Amino acid sequence: MQDGTDFEVPTIDIGPYVRSGSAADRAAVAAAMDDACRRVGFMQIQGHGVPDDVVAGLAAAIDAFFGLDAEEKRRWVRPPGENRGYTPPRSESLSLSLGVEQASRMNDFFEAYNVGRSLSDYPWIDLPEPLAEHYAENTWPAVPGFEQHVSAWFAEAERVAETLTRIFADALGLPADLFDDLTGHGIKVLRMNNYALPEGTAVEVDGDLVGMGEHTDYGIVTVLWADREPGLQVLGRDGAWHDVLPEPGALLVNLGDLTARLTNERWMSTLHRVKPPLVGGTIRRRRSAAFFHDGDADAVVAPLAGLLEPHESPLYDPVTIDQHMRAKLAGSRAGVRNADAVRESARVLGAV
């Protein structure tokens, strides 16, 4: 997609990996992937094979849940340590000017509902308590069809994410099973987001109005479905924010921090945010669903030796995925600044 500048979110048709494409067709996809991941870290994905009725089911489930009244939705809030259930909007600070204090995530006005893979999905693993927290059981709200529709979407997004990691291995010229050791009992979370203000709310904005503050995603890769409504913005290598709208039928895909670590920043986790435009003094509702493919809590992530050039030294120390996720979630949920994110915050402050 072009927005009048040199910034572009490349479109990749992953069909040859979804169906059994020829070796030459797959090699072309892998080469396009390497190029997109080096230059942008954000992509439009076509040929993913997700049936239309599964997309429609997801949208219907999102509408049904977020359409409940506020009090009913709050019944589905879960303890802060569990990345599950309902997150209410922080609408009370809407009119605040964010100024340069962009790290103040309490201004984010999205509401969300999270589900994910649970310990019961991986009966063969035995993780100590702090690690097991990443695999909390799901709560399903009492909304007809919600569990069924969301589970169908989850399975499709998971399949697409796994296909992408196979393409990544080829694109990096590394063994096809590269990600298997990191994802056998992966932390996988689907976050359904609703950006909306109550009907008729006029917004008094004396600064920036942010639906979801700028961030990189934490894991390996994110598969994102979103309404074709403006709001999502991506920070380009030119230091400017660019609007990104999904093409009809496309899924958006972006790399997370763990992939930047694994590739020693040959590929980057791209900064993005949601900043819905004001239309007639308010915002138009926008829905999205982000599937985070985050890897095994106890796996250790460090720059892959096979990718380091002789003159290159690792930019990151080894961390477990648990340590990495914990530091990031503490930042976004408890407002504790994540001291490990220096490399990412330097890029935000450089944005114009």
> Which residue bears the tokens 């439009």?
44
Structure tokens at 279: 């239309």
288 binds ligand AKG (CB under 6 A): yes
Q: How far is the CB of 289 from Fe ion (least distance, A)?
A: 11
Q: Which of 275, 332, 334, 6 is nearest to 344 (CA)?
A: 332
| Choice between 36 and 224, CB closer to ligand AKG | 224
Which long-range contacts link 57-61 to residues 24+ away (Cβ below 8 Å)?
A: 57/145, 57/148, 57/149, 57/152, 57/153, 58/149, 58/150, 58/152, 58/153, 58/192, 58/225, 58/289, 59/287, 60/145, 60/149, 61/143, 61/145, 61/146, 61/149, 61/150, 61/153, 61/192
| Choice between 30 and 210, CB closer to ligand AKG | 210
Q: What is the DSSP string of 278-295?
A: EETTEE--EEEEEEEEEE
| Choice between 178 and 258, CB closer to ligand AKG | 258
Give the total of residues touching Fe ion (CB under 5 A): 1
Fill in the DSSP letter of residue 105. G
Q: How far is the CB of 75 from Fe ion (least distance, A)?
A: 26
290 binds ligand AKG (CB under 6 A): yes
| Choice between 34 and 294, CB closer to ligand AKG | 294
- 221 contact choice in Fe ion, ligand AKG, none (CB below 5 to 8 Å, kind-dependent): none
Query: Which residues in the 194-233 window bind ligand AKG by CB under 6 A?
Result: 212, 217, 224, 226, 232
191 binds ligand AKG (CB under 6 A): yes
- 274 contact choice in Fe ion, ligand AKG, none (CB below 5 to 8 Å, kind-dependent): ligand AKG
| Interaction mask 207-226, Fe ion, x per CB under 5 A | ----------x---------
Q: Rounded to an integer, what distance in angstroms lies between the CA atom of residue 199 and that of residue 56?
A: 24
Query: Which residues in the 267-286 window bind ligand AKG by CB under 6 A?
Result: 272, 274
**Residue 214 CB neighbours (<10 A):** 22
- Judged by the rule CB under 5 A, the positions of this chain that interact with Fe ion are 217
- Judged by the rule CB under 6 A, the positions of this chain that interact with ligand AKG are 191, 193, 212, 217, 224, 226, 232, 272, 274, 288, 290
